[in-house]
Structure formats: structure tokens, C-alpha cells
Structure 1
Amino acid sequence: MIVAIDGPSGAGKSTVSKLVAKELGFSCLDTGAMYRCIAWKALREGVSLEDAEALGAIARTCRISFVHGEGEVDARAVLVDGCDVTDAIRTAEIDRAVSKVSAVPAVRTSLVEQQRVIGRAGNYVVEGRDIGTVVFADAEAKVFLTASDEERARRRVAQNAARGIGSTDFDTVLADIVARDERDSARAASPLVAADDAVLVDSTDLSQDEVVARICGLARERMR
């Protein structure tokens, strides 16, 4: 079974997905991390984010893998061609670059193929921006998780402060989130949009536990 969780940046998809997977006894597939890996490699190799052909070539040849500990729903490490990039792909620089990379059709085609192979091998909670519309359009349970711009910025600032990575200036983070939403929604390849059969969950005024309970309830209902 696939539980697809889509939504904009800063909506809490990654954290919620992990908690839902743990509650259901599923595994997590962080598709967003895969696009971040391509962005990281492109920047490291000096490849222009405007060079779609070069970005597509990286996606076709790049070896992305996840390291899981026994019983862990989420990967403890992300590797690109054997190099540990777990922290390197979570910087503000990658935050700004990943939308351009993920908008390239050749990149999406290569990574979607990998994601489908992984996801169809078991029970997964999969989060991203086009999981329920493109990657797993036939997913049994689909959720579009969102929150207000201000709340998402507040959460991202707190997250960056806790990690010691990325900007902690509220206005800067808010501007980045709004700009990314616009890019993700306007892109030609798999734009950010809720699937017609997705359940909308606005987490602005909900606790994390309430969000998880709603999604788990939906998943269990669809299992019947």
C-alpha cells in the first residue's frame, strides 16, 4: 500500500510522514531528498541549473541510495555515488536550487522510475509534490498537507535553528517559501497541485499528533 502525502515546502511533510509510517508499520521514501541530491551534485560539479540537458544526464547516471537501520522507517543516511550527503542536501543553498532541478522533465523522468521501483516493493509512506498526481497516481490513500505561509516559515526557522543549518531570519525564509511555491506551482513538469481524490489537511491550527491521527485514520479506512 502507498500513502501519498503531497504539499508545499514547510508544511511538515517529512516529519509527519515518518510518524505516520511508524504508526502504520510502513517504511518512508523521501523522494524530495533524491531531487536534492541532483541539485547538490550539479552545484558541486559547477553545472548550471539552467542546463536541462546536463541536469538530466546527472539524474540518469547518479547513484542515489538510502541507508536504513533495522526497523527504522526513515533512512539514517543518504548517499550520492557512495558519498554521504545527508546534511549537505539540507542547506539553504539547496533549498533555493532544488525547484529548478525538479522542474527539468528529464530529471523527473529518471527519478520517478526509481521511486516507483522502490515504492512498489512494499508498504510505503511517500511524500513530495507530485506523488499522488504523477508518481503514484494509483495510491490507495492521498493527502495534500498544507499550512499558512507564515506558519510554514515559522516552522522552517525553528527547524533551521535546531539543525544549525540554513537561515533563521523569518522574512528571508518566508520570501524563499513564497518564491518556491510560485515556482513549484507554475512549472510545466508535474506542478504542485492537489490530486482530485486527495484529502486536504491544513495543519496551521492542528498539533502534529492531530495531523498524524487524521492521516493514519484515512490510511486504515482505505485498507479495509
Structure 2
Amino acid sequence: MIIAIDGPSGAGKSTVAKAVAKHLGFSCLDTGAMYRCIALAALEAGVELSDEQRCASIAREKAISFGHVEGDPVPKRVFIDGVEVTDDIRTARIDRSVSIVSAHPLVREALVEQQRRLGHQGDFVIEGRDIGTVVFPKAEVKVFLTASNEERARRRVLQNEQRGVGSVDFDEVLADIVRRDELDSSRETAPLIAAEDAVRMDSTGRTIEDVIDDICTRARAARGF
């Protein structure tokens, strides 16, 4: 079974996906981290982020993998060619860069192929921006998760404070969220839109536990247990 959770930056997709995976005993695939890896690799190689061909070459050549703790379906560590980049891909620099890289059709083509191959290996909760529309259009459960701009910025600042990575300036984070929404929604390839058969969930004013329970209930109903 595939549970697809799409939505804009800062909507809480990663937190929700990880919790749903734990509750249901599924694995969790962080597709956003994969695009962040390509952005990081491109920057470190001195590649212009606007250079689609070179960014796509990186996406095809770099081996992205995830590290798990035994018994935990949620990956805790991220690697590029065996080198850990868990914290490196969560900086403000990558926040500003990832939408540019992910807008390239050839980059998306390379990573979607990897995502589908991984997703067909078992039961997965997969979050991103085009999971239910492009990557797994036949996913059994589809959710489009969002929240107000201000709520998403508040959550992202708190998350960055807790991790000690990324900007903690509310206005800067808010501006970046608005900018990324525009980039993600207006790109020609796989724009950020809700699948027609997705359940739309606005998490503003809802507890994270309520959202998690809602998705788990829908998954169990779809699975028949």
C-alpha cells in the first residue's frame, strides 16, 4: 500500500508521514530529502542550479540512501554516495535552492524512477509535492496537507530552533515559504496541486495527533483492517 501525502513547504508533511508510518508499521520515504541532496551536490560541485542538464546528471549519478535504526521504519540519516548529509541538506541555503533544482523536468524524471522502484518494495508512506499526482497516481490513500502561511512559518522556525539548523527569523522564513509556494505551483513539470481524488486537510488549528489519527483511520479503512 502507498499512502501519498502532498502539500506545500512547512505544512507538516514530514512529521505526519513519519508518525503515520510508525503507527501502521509502514516504511517512510522522504522524497523532499532526495531533491535536497541533489541541490547540495550541485552546489558543492559548483554547478549553476539553473543548469538542468548538469543537475540531471548529478541526479542520475549520485546514490542517495537512507539509514534506519533497527525496528524503526522511519529513516533517521541521509547519505549521498555513502557520505552522511543529514544536517547539510537542512540548512537555509538548501531551503533557498531546492525549488530551483526540483523544477527541472530531467531531475524529476531521474528521481521519480528511484522513488517508484523503492515504493514498490513494500508498504510506504511517501510525502512530497507530486506523489499523488505524478509519482504514485494509483496510491490507495492520498492526502493534500496544508496550513496558513503564518502557521507554516511558525512551525518551520520552531523546527529550525530545535534542530539548530536553518533560519530562525520569522519574516525570512515566511518570505521563503511564499516564494517556494510560487515556484512549486507555477513550474511546468509536476506543479504543486492536489490530486483530484486526494483528501484535503488544513492543519491550521488542528493538533498534529488529530491529523495523524485521521490519516491512519483512512488507511485502515482502505486496507480493510
TM-score by length of 1: 0.99
How many residue pairs end up in the alignment? Answer: 224
Deviation at 1:72, TM superposition (A): 1.1
Question: 1 CA distance for matches of 2:153 and 2:69?
Answer: 31
Secondary structure at the counterpart of residue 11 of structure 2: coil
Matched residue, 1:163: 163
Question: 2 CA distance for matches of 1:32 and 1:166?
Answer: 16
Matched residue, 2:100: 100
- Equivalent positions of 1:132-211 (< 5 A) are 132-211=132-211
Deviation at 1:28, TM superposition (A): 0.2
User: Are 2:3 and 1:3 aligned?
Assistant: yes
Matched residue, 2:127: 127
Per-residue Cα deviation, 1:102-146 (whole angstroms, up to 9, x for no partner): 001111001000000100110000000000000000000000000
Across the aligned residues of Structure 1 and Structure 2, the Cα RMSD in angstroms comes to 0.6
Range moving further from structure 2, 68-77 or 41-50: 68-77
Q: Which amino acid aligns with 2:163?
A: R
Per-residue Cα deviation, 1:135-190 (whole angstroms, up to 9, x for no partner): 00000000000000000000001011111111111111000000000000000110
Segments of 4+ moved more than 3 angstroms: none
Deviation at 1:202, TM superposition (A): 0.5
Secondary structure at the counterpart of residue 215 of structure 1: helix
Question: 2 CA distance for matches of 1:146 and 1:76?
Answer: 24
Per-residue Cα deviation, 1:57-81 (whole angstroms, up to 9, x for no partner): 1011111111112111211211101
- Equivalent positions of 1:27-42 (< 5 A) are 27-42=27-42
Question: 2 CA distance for matches of 1:195 and 1:51?
Answer: 29
Question: 2 CA distance for matches of 1:86 and 1:167?
Answer: 17
Matched residue, 1:45: 45
- Kept in 1, the 8 Å contact 2:22–2:74? The answer is no
Deviation at 1:195, TM superposition (A): 0.2
Deviation at 1:223, TM superposition (A): 0.9
Tell me the percent identity: 64
Matched residue, 1:73: 73
User: Are 2:75 and 1:63 aligned?
Assistant: no
- Gap runs ≥5 in structure 1: none
Secondary structure at the counterpart of residue 142 of structure 1: strand
Secondary structure at the counterpart of residue 3 of structure 1: strand
